[in-house]
Amino acid sequence: NPSTSQPLPRGYKDTLAKSYYDPRKRTIVLVHGWQNTPTSQFHVVLIPAFLEAEDVNVIMTDWSVGAAGNYLPALLNCIRSGESVAKYLKWLVEESGGDLSRFHLVGHSLGGHQVGIIGRNLGGVVPYITSLDPALPGWITNPNRFKADDGLYTEVMHTNAGVSGFLTALGHVDFYPNGGVNMPGCADRSCSHHRCNYYLAESLKGRFLGSQCDNLASALIGDCDGRTLNMGGLTPKPEYTGLYHVETNAYSPFSKD
């Protein structure tokens, strides 16, 4: 249902049975970041984008109570929330007769690490995990941070790298749009940090062709001429690895392809 959400709490079999959830369809699990709520930009941008691109289930993970307030408690709550969401998804799959092979996890900022925690607690078998500018503060040496093997194919978009977002590569594939630090059309770091949400949304129906880079320095300055790969999109690309640079427009439509 593109306009009306339904609560789908763990343990309530009758609620699940009466819901629109269809285990035969792909399921997108969205995990927001620090101080976000169900009405935050992350959800407003991505929920309609996924539903317009494909007939899928979209599950919005609401951990807004744990994500509120100061950053350090939110970081700790992020880890607990990830463990809890993994238990929820195990229950959902078992009760619905579904399959984790139909799942795509998408998280932004703190949620960008939380989707890794979820995937890890599900045994690393989720086929597609997208981490959108995963948070930097508190995660450099954190053993719970996002890792490439948290899923079968993991992709990271860096749009405020080294500031609000993580600088170095974390996934099977890491994209550094416009050098990964300051996004065209953005006047502050918050805009750049959130720009990845729009890139992913647009990629579901469009193309952002990036070129593979030899190393992080090349990705940051855009000195890349390797094989091309589309950033984002609906389906995983498990045959690819590496760092990629892609150029975007300053305003929507962001794709130059």
DSSP of 73-104: HHHHHHHHHHHHHHHHHHHHHHHHT--GGGEE
Domain boundaries, the chain: 21-246
Q: Taking 80 as the threshold, does the pLDDT of residue 187 lie above it?
A: yes
Q: Taking 90 as the threshold, does the pLDDT of residue 3 lie above it?
A: no
Instruction: Indicate the Cα dihedral angle 84, 86, 87, 89, nearest 10°.
Output: 120
pLDDT of 122: 99
Place of tokens 């070129």: 211
Share of the chain above pLDDT 90, in %: 98
- Among the residue ranges 4-8, 100-104, 123-127, the one predicted with the least confidence is 4-8
**Which tokens in the block code for residue 98?**
């579904």
Of 62, 66, 207, 71, the closest CA to residue 135 belongs to 71
* Mean pLDDT calculated for residue range 81-96: 98
- Mean pLDDT, the chain, as a whole number? 98
| Centroid of chain to Cα 49 | 14
Give residue-wise pLDDT tens across range 204-244: 999 999 999 999 999 999 999 999 999 999 999 999 999 99
Q: Which residues pair with 59 in a beta bridge?
A: 29
Q: Taking 80 as the threshold, does the pLDDT of residue 2 lie above it?
A: no
DSSP of 6-74: ----TT-HHHHHHSS--TTS-EEEEE--TT--TTSHHHHHHHHHHHHHS--EEEEE--HHHHSS-HHHH
Residue 160 — pLDDT band, cuts 50, 70, 90? very high
* CB contact at 8 A, 183 and 149: no
Rounded Cα distance between 132 and 235, Å, is 16
Q: Which CATH number is associated with domain 21-246?
A: 3.40.50.1820
Give residue-wise pLDDT tens across range 71-81: 999 999 999 99
pLDDT of 1: 66
Q: Which residues pair with 44 in a beta bridge?
A: none
pLDDT of 74: 99
Give residue-wise pLDDT tens across range 23-34: 999 999 999 999
Rounded Cα distance between 100 and 123, Å, is 10
Q: Is 252 helix (H, G, I), strand (E, B) or coil?
A: coil
